[in-house]
């Protein structure tokens, strides 16, 4: 087990500086254009693929970093560049992780390369879980998958929403219920291959922020996929369902819900790191502005009202990073989140991003409210962190119930 440390080693610093350079030289110059266009920034994704950032190998190396700091470090630097473009770059990773976590070796080898494509023909993938009536309440999915034994096919029907890359993806990973009575334990994940009949893009959302990231509904109308597209295989699924039914009888179903919530808890520090990156970017713009902007014959940073705001902003960002790194280290090293540390990190970092970006606008005054300066965009982008991967209200609920020793519903 790696010791917890706030010091990056030489290799980590090299990777951080490399990512920072890409964010500064490639992502930032393109940020305003793609935010206005509200389109997937394919040229930027292709550049990321050429240098090796948009690839499974890169994210696998960071994920298996024994210190736990690889992923949060990478997320912070990319999202420091721009949240919308960064989400377009890392969004495929959600689907890839779903396959890595649940798929067989054959499924991993077959489908993950198709998610990324290659530098000359980049592809994206989509992870489809949320539904119009099932966001935070993961046990309430209505999308159904029914096995057609005669044809060895699964028939999937339902509508997914808030899917990053939904409808434009080469490969979709869809979570569906195969046994509604088991709640979240009755879910399974399926690969929907490219060009499968019945899958279509529904509404594409015009969003307040992260507008360079494609977000849409995915409609599944009698989608048929081969039995081999069930992640993990049917034998493994049948065994898991049998165990879940026994546990549901013994525990009244409560443990079924707890297990699902624990899965989400482990992934939340990465979102916290994204929020830290956006907050840091806004703080740096505000700090530079305060040093150079003069009013009444002196730089505005010489005014205590501005200086104290900057002091609070920096303190909150550093505190958020510390919570994110602690939770990331715990997750990689198998330390249980006995106080919901994953939710703590996501809650504090996301709220910090909203607060810091708003303070940055205030420091820039009228300039901050215009699109001539990036803090306006950063403030719009920051709003998503308190919503996706569990709202701030859900994080507080998880933390409170964990501390009280109560079931997480």
The model's pLDDT over 307-342, given as tens digits with 9 standing for 90+, comes to 999 999 999 999 999 999 999 999 988 898 989 999
Classify strands 171-177 and 125-128 as parallel, antiparallel or unpaired.
parallel
Q: What does pTM read for this prediction? A: 0.91
**Average pLDDT rounded to a whole number, residues 187-205:** 96
Pseudo-torsion of CA 76, 82, 84, 87, nearest 10°? -30
Confidence bin at 109 (pLDDT 50/70/90):
very high
Task: Give the distance between the most distant pair of CA atoms in the chain.
Answer: 82
**Average pLDDT rounded to a whole number, residues 350-360:** 98
| Catalytic-residue membership of 265 | no
163, 218 contact by CB (below 8 A): yes
Domain ranges of the chain: 10-122, 125-233, 256-404
CATH number of 10-122, picked from 1.10.540.10, 1.10.260.40, 3.40.50.150, 1.10.1040.10: 1.10.540.10
CA distance 73 to 384: 20
The per-residue pLDDT of the chain, averaged, comes to 91
CATH superfamily to which 125-233 belongs: Butyryl-CoA Dehydrogenase, subunit A, domain 2 (2.40.110.10)
CA distance 264 to 127: 14
Least confident of 164-168, 237-241, 245-249: 245-249
115, 95 contact by CB (below 8 A): yes
Using CA atoms, how far residue 310 sits from 336, 364, 375, 407, in Å, is 35, 12, 14, 40
CATH number of 256-404, picked from 1.10.287.1080, 1.20.140.10, 3.40.50.300, 1.10.3720.10: 1.20.140.10
* DSSP output for 86-104: HHHHHTHHHHHHHHHHH--
For 52-96, the pLDDT digits (tens) are 999 988 988 998 898 999 999 999 999 999 999 999 999 998 899
- DSSP letter for 374, please: T
Q: Does the structure show a pLDDT above 70 at 265?
A: no
Q: Does the structure show a pLDDT above 50 at 377?
A: yes
Considering the candidates 131, 239, 389, 393, report the single residue annotated as catalytic: 389
* DSSP output for 181-219: GGGGGGEEEEEE-TT-TTEEEEEEP--SS-TTS-EEEEE
Residues 47-76: b if buried by 16+ CB within 10 A, e if exposed: bbbeeebbbbebbbebbebebbbbbbbbbb
Confidence bin at 144 (pLDDT 50/70/90):
very high
218, 172 contact by CB (below 8 A): yes
- DSSP letter for 230, please: B
Q: How many CB atoms lie within 10 A of CB 283?
A: 24
Label residue 246 exposed, middle or buried (CB < 10 Å: 0-12, 13-18, 19+): exposed
């Amino acid at each position: 087990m790696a010791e917890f440390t706030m010091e990056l080693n030489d290799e980590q610093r090299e990777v951080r500086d490399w990512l920072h350079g890409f964010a500064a030289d490639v992502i930032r110059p393109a940020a305003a254009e793609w935010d206005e266009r509200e389109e997937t920034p394919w040229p930027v994704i292709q550049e990321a693929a050429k240098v090796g950032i948009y690839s499974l190998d890169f994210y696998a190396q960071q994920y298996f970093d024994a210190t736990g700091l690889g992923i949060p470090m990478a997320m912070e630097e990319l999202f420091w560049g721009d949240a919308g473009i960064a989400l377009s770059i890392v969004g495929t990773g959600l689907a890839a992780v779903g396959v890595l976590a649940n798929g067989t070796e054959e499924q991993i080898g077959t489908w993950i390369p198709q998610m990324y494509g290659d530098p000359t023909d980049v592809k994206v993938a989509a992870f489809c879980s949320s539904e119009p009536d099932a966001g935070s309440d993961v046990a309430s999915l209505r999308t159904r998958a029914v096995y057609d034994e005669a044809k060895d096919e699964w028939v999937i029907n339902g509508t997914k929403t808030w899917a990053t890359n939904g409808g434009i993806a080469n490969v979709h990973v869809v979570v569906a219920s195969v046994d509604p009575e088991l709640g979240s334990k009755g879910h399974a994940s399926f690969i929907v291959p490219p060009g499968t009949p019945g899958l279509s893009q529904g509404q594409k959302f015009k969003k307040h922020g992260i507008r360079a990231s494609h977000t849409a509904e995915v409609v599944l109308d009698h989608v048929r996929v081969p039995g081999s597209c069930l992640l993990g295989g049917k034998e493994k699924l049948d065994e898991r369902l049998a165990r879940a039914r026994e546990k549901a009888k013994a525990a009244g179903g409560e443990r079924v819900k707890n297990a699902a919530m624990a899965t989400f808890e482990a992934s939340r520090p990465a979102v916290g790191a994204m929020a830290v990156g956006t907050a840091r970017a806004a703080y740096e713009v505000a700090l530079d502005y305060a040093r150079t902007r003069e009013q009444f014959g002196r730089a505005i940073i010489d005014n205590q009202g501005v200086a104290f705001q900057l002091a609070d902003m920096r303190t909150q960002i550093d505190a958020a990073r510390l919570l994110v790194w602690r939770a990331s280290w715990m997750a990689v090293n198998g330390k249980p989140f006995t106080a919901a540390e994953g939710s703590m990190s996501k809650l504090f970092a996301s709220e910090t991003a909203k607060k810091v970006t708003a303070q940055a606008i205030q420091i820039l005054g009228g300039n901050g409210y215009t699109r001539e300066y990036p803090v306006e965009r950063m403030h719009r982008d920051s709003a998503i962190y308190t919503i996706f991967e569990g709202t701030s209200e859900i994080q507080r609920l998880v933390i409170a119930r964990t501390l009280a020793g109560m079931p997480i519903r």
